[in-house]
Structure 1
Amino acid sequence: MGVEEIVLLNADDEAVGTAPKGASHHRDTPYHLAFSCYVVDTEGRVLITQRALGKRTFPGVWTGSCCGHPGPGEKLRDAVLRRLRDELGIPDAELMSVLPRFQYRAVAADGTVENERCPVVRATVPANRTVHRNPDEVERAEWWTWDQCLELTGRPESSPWYRLQLAELAPLGAPLDWPDAGPGDLPPAIAW
């Protein structure tokens, strides 16, 4: 596998180039395209994960189900499904755009910056879906109630993007009630 590339964005969220992912995350990380995904089962439980302790950025924090960076020319749906397979061993899911306009900037304890336009997607799977976590990506993966997810926002071990996303998701109700935001507000840099 070659070097993973991220899509660089301008202030209008248009693609303006690419850069190697690993070399791009530092104290002056350029604004780029990413996504977050919350896997929800048909009973309304949410798959919450702890990032692997060996991760370069934000190791060991608790966060949503998975996140990643769409590659150049890759559709958002395809990127989410790729990361669900790679990180969690989930082969398929019903996807829905939830927070297509989400963006954030966060600084890790070591000074590394995340600076992302990061649409949020819900992936619905059957209850009792087996998860096969990739230990290079995920330290732990657990099915939580929505109340447990909300409670995590008050704990320092949650990721900064998780806290910001939950502030927008909580008013939408329980995860199975989240409305479909559709693809209309996705950044121009990516297709659904």
Structure 2
Amino acid sequence: MPITPPNGRSAETAAPPAPSGSADPIMLELVDEDGTTIGTAEKLSAHLPPGRLHRAFSVFLFDEAGRLLLQRRALGKYHSPGVWSNTCCGHPYPGEPPFVAAARRTGEELGIAPVLLREAGTVRYNHPDPASGLVEQEYNHLFAGLVRAAPRPDPLEIGETAFVTPDQLARLRADHPFSAWFPTVLDAARPAIRELTGAAAGW
């Protein structure tokens, strides 16, 4: 079933063209504290200390049992390699609606399309990554949804996936490293997650 973003355009037609070649720099949208676009910056430069505030998105997808789909970031990632995190996260291209970027990137990384995807708020944070020395200064658009298909992750992006209950997530967090931003985005998205999954899921 097609995913319809809040502006009514289909995800297939709303996104601008992706960068035309691998040699082209990946550009991000710089924003002010209200989330208004104020310019662009190359991706890596935006993450160099102290970081430049830019637009991002985070996705939380659940199966029909109310379990959250997690990913462990591939070891080859330049930022936060090998750590667990939420279903998908990334940055819209300049001019790309965050909803469209979230749907696009979920397909690229996990090989799946949500059967439902809805807005779950925004959150602004500043999270340094001790391992890489990079800084996440982000105005993050949150999305929560449902998925029925099994993930088919891109091994260049994802090392492992897992569907977890709240109790399983707590045990995993006790034993394994997670991305610096994960607690912040999860807490910010909880009201929408609880509405989506129902009280019985325990989120």
Q: Same fold (TM over 0.5)?
A: yes
Unaligned ranges ≥5, structure 1: 179-192
Cα distance in 1 for partners of 2:117, 2:155 equals: 24
Cα distance in 2 for partners of 1:125, 1:156 equals: 25
2:139 aligned with 1:102: no
8 Å contact from structure 2 (residues 58, 185) kept in 1: no
8 Å contact from structure 1 (residues 88, 131) kept in 2: yes
Structure 1 residue aligned with 2:18: none
Listed as ranges, the matches of 1:135-154 within 5 Å are 135-154=155-174
CA shift digits 1:64-121 (9 cap, x unpaired)? 01101011111122101110111000134311111x2212111112321011011211
Cα distance in 2 for partners of 1:120, 1:146 equals: 19
How far did residue 152 of structure 1 move? 4.0
Give the alignment's TM-score, normalised by structure 2: 0.78
2:197 to 167, 171, 176: 176
Structure 2 residue aligned with 1:37: 59
Structure 2 residue aligned with 1:68: 90
2:179 to 131, 140, 159: 159
Higher-RCO chain (CA-CA 8 Å, sequence separation at least 6)? 1
The secondary structure found in structure 2 opposite 1:3 is coil
2:109 aligned with 1:84: no
Question: Hey, which of these two has a bigger chunk of helix by percent?
Answer: 2
Give the alignment's TM-score, normalised by structure 1: 0.82
8 Å contact from structure 1 (residues 81, 93) kept in 2: no
CA shift digits 1:24-50 (9 cap, x unpaired)? 221222000001001111221111111
Cα distance in 1 for partners of 2:28, 2:115 equals: 24
The percentage of aligned residue pairs carrying the same residue is 32
Structure 1 residue aligned with 2:154: 134
- Closer, same or farther: CA 72–32 of 1 in aligned 2, 3 Å: same
8 Å contact from structure 1 (residues 44, 174) kept in 2: no
Structure 2 residue aligned with 1:53: 75
Q: Which moved more, 1:83-92 or 1:29-38?
A: 83-92
